[in-house]
Chains A and B, each alone.
Chain A
Amino acid sequence: MHPWNNASKIAFRICFIFYLIMCIPFSKEWYDRLFAVHWDALHYRDIYDITRFQPAIVKFDNSNWNLMGYTDWLLILAISIIGGLIFSFVDRRRPSYYALNYWLMVLIRYRAAIGIIGFGFLKIFPVQMPFPSLAMLNTDFGQYSAQKLYWVSVGIVPWYQSFAGVFEIGAGLLLLFRKTTVYGAILLFAAMADIVYVNFSYDGNVHIYSSYFVILAAYLLAYDLPYFYAFFIKERYVIPYHYYPSFTEKWQQYLRTGLKSGLLFIFVGVTAYLQLMNFLYDPYKQPSLKGVPALRGNYNVTFFSINNKEIAYDPFDTTRWQHVTFEKWSTFTFSTNQPQNLDLSNGIALPMRDINRTFELTGMAGRRTYFYYEADTVQQLLHLHNKNPLNKKASITSNSFYLAGGSKPILYDTITIIPDVIRKEINGIDERARSWRRQKHILLEYANAQPGEDMTLHYTTKDGSRIIMTGVTRNGDSLYIVLDKVEKHYLLTESSLNAGNY
């Protein structure tokens, strides 16, 4: 057990404060969220929100898009340097920090493990990058943003995505045990360094969070680096020194085992179950309600008349519908030659209502209009609501915890009667995937909804090969439309691993 030189001691003290700030949640919101969790009706996001935090001192409008996000780190570093120097002055007699370093590494290991396991479960049951919808398959390659292209390129290979999840969770599990920490740290470092670079290259916006894991992993590897250098490169005999706490008391051993099993139970066991339910019945980036089975598919618009005036097919017409899709979920789309408002966000928010789940339209152009529909299959009516959030005055995305009323009970003061459609939407998914969070957020999104473009159309079809739609638009124009189903030869075929139950 060697005493440390002054430089190492000062460096350690700075690192100690730096990583302490990095690994302990300091924001009030994190604790508010934690205490608002309804443990009897969990949603996977309840746990995910606990696993996902990073220090945020300055709130930037746009830090996700540029290097400004790292400003927080520089501030924390400045604080750590000042703190570290004070620490050095106060504690200047101490020869070494083996024990404190051990506990700091424990903290970093657990922080990194819980974070990466939370991340990994989004992929192991692949829901983070969904397989493209019909409308997305029919959109030109050049009309995707770079960021969207990267995400969808992972979405088309769900098994690969799932393996990436295995990799991340594997790294996390290895970090939870002292003897396998080195392997976990190497895997974490490699995987996250790659993701940092991907985010820079494709204008993704999780470069800060992935860099966060890189520097956590870097600290875990740093201690062993001199030994590595001495043995493998200098080829000298080395005796690695490590401090281990000894838990001699029975209660200490019980506490240790209890804490560890508890963490494993919540962040691996419970999370795995919740993610599986999410994957099977309610993939969070896809609408969750089933589309009308008879209608699903691609359609050519064979006949289109507005106010009894036929408009012949012309790719440059701005009124006539072209290329209709009915997705397997509650989405109906058509294109016109009318420029659309673009939403280029990456959809990190977690909306619960189908109308607000917009992964299928964000980050893409292509002059397509997206509608969420409620179908009345008895009356053969489709109630269509425009999905583009930018066509509304404001949109609620459920991203903000406080907007969602914090931990207040479900029935919100503004809602007195829950309409049937909303009740239907809440109960529209399999019982096993229902949660307190989903129910509450659906009500909130409903209560805060802004009126957008909507219309009700009547449809008739025998078997879905031809659909006749009639109705009146919001502007009072009457429509008569004939759709004929087309079988498209996609080279991009669906995988055997599909999220959702439609």
Chain B
Amino acid sequence: MTANKWTPVQQALFRFCFIFFILSLFPSTYRYSFSMDFTGILMLATYRPPSLPVLLYMLPVSAVGATIWMVRDNNRHNMDMLYYWLRVILRYRLALAFVGYGFVYFFHIHSPYPSISHMNTHYGEFTRWKIFSMTLGVAPGYSCFLGIVQLTIALLLLFRKLTLPAVIIAVIFLGNVFLSNWAYEGADVLYSAYLLSIASFLLIYDLTEFHTLFALQRPAALRPAIPSLKWKWAPRSIFLLFFLACGYASYSSYRQGTYQFPHTSTPTGLVGFYDVSSFTINGRELPYSLTDTMRWENVVFEKWATVSIRSPQQISIPTPVYTVPDLLESPSSYEQTGNNGRCYYSLQADTIQHTLALLQQNNMYIFHYHQPDSNRIVLSGINQQHDSLLIVLRKINKRYLLEEAGTGKNNPAKL
């Protein structure tokens, strides 16, 4: 696009895009803290555009704005500088998004390795996005690779001359992110589509020249030079500082362990997978059953203060509908959303009084516990309805193929 060659159509389209993209820079909410902690910084990096209804509302607003602008200012035929500044803003906007997600993926803190409860949940009892997340969680190396790709894009975007390689990778990457979000029913369909539209907008600037040179294989005219700016190091330096802060914040979160699981702890000696070998309610012992929804089948004590219990499913209970939690939702509900089959309780243990309280929003158990040997836990106590319970848990040293399957000949022969 050379100087003074803007056709009216191009001008109208550009003004429309200009207004739309500038309006869409505003975040969806203003609940952002400017603290130096991990979530604060990453919240800033991954801030969302306005919600879908607002974005849709912005489309006619931008159209009207562009029309007024065209009428009021119809003598300007060269919008090169305005175009340049819009590209600068959008480059930084896109880089910001890639920095936030890049570090989250690089340190694989968003998709953790499955918990013991997850390992003992049937494949069909997960939603698609949860399977996606857990499948990523079992391969930290892959998550790390995706992080590196995103951070590379972010750094390339800081330099005008490296924008084209950056957006080529970005368009392909975001195209895949968009489709995965749509297919796996993830939370970021709109957000990834929005970022994809920014990347595509940036790609359009170079597309004609790229096509002429490498598809038609003919020489392309040089674009008008961009006047050198005095302060051009400033935004880049500020951004790099932010990049480092973001990296540090993510690293410290990585050191603490994923934010998807609570940072509490279960008394040592309890953690593990347990068979419910005996279950007595109000003095009546219930045998193992596939249909008795009262009786527990097995119990997991996680390393953090979570207990999950498996019981036969109640046929009358409809399948719950889960919404996908946002990135950085706090406190994270990652454990119990997106899967059924097990009931999740938060655990309050008192190792001196030997009591355990299992708490849920509408349900609770209070137990006194003792461990006759290292493999058994005897729980005696009550449930919400004050039924008296006596439960014997037997620890099972479960072997998981996921952990034991090596490569080549190191595989277990039987399991």
Contact = CB atoms under 8 A, between A and B. Distances in A.
A159 B123 CA distance: 19
Interface in A119-162: 132, 136-147, 149-150, 152-153, 156-157, 159-160
B274 to A, nearest CB: 12
A145 B141 CA distance: 16
Interface in A200-214: 200-203
B387 interface: no
Interface string A321-362: 010000000000000000111101000000000000000000
A133 B411 CA distance: 24
B340 interface: yes
Nearest to A137: B124
Contact of A153 (B131, B162, B401, B406): B131
Nearest to B143: A201
Contacts of B184: 157, 160
B132 interface: yes
A197 interface: yes
B217 interface: yes
Interface string B382-415: 0000000000000000101111011111011111
Nearest to A191: B172
B407 to A, nearest CB: 5
A182 B215 contact: yes
Interface stretch (B54-62, B206-214, B248-256): B206-214
A489 B313 contact: yes
A17 interface: no
A145 B413 contact: no
Interface in B103-144: 114, 118-128, 130-132, 134-135, 138-139, 141-142
Nearest to B128: A156
Interface in B277-315: 287-291, 297, 313, 315
A63 to B, nearest CB: 10
Interface stretch (A41-49, A226-234, A255-263): A226-234
A143 B400 contact: yes
Nearest to A132: B123
Contacts of A231: 209, 213, 220, 222
A66 to B, nearest CB: 6
A65 B410 CA distance: 11
B319 interface: yes
Contact of A141 (B134, B141, B217, B405): B134
A291 B145 CA distance: 43
Nearest to B149: A194
Q: Name which of B139, B184, B288, B322 has the most chain A CB atoms within 10 A of its CB.
A: B139
B240 interface: no
B339 A66 contact: no
Interface string B180-214: 10111000000000000000000000100110011
Given A62-B408, A201-B139, A142 B120 contact: yes
A491 B339 contact: yes
29 contacts: A65-B408, A66-B407, A132-B123, A136-B124, A138-B122, A140-B123, A141-B402, A142-B401, A143-B415, A145-B405, A147-B405, A149-B138, A156-B128, A159-B183, A160-B183, A187-B172, A201-B145, A231-B213, A240-B214, A312-B288, A313-B287, A316-B275, A341-B413, A342-B412, A342-B414, A364-B401, A365-B400, A367-B415, A488-B124
Given A182-B214, A224-B214, 5 more contacts: A163-B183, A179-B217, A312-B287, A342-B401, A363-B405
List 5 A-B pairs, minimum CB-CB distance, nearest first: A137-B124, A142-B119, A160-B183, A201-B142, A142-B400
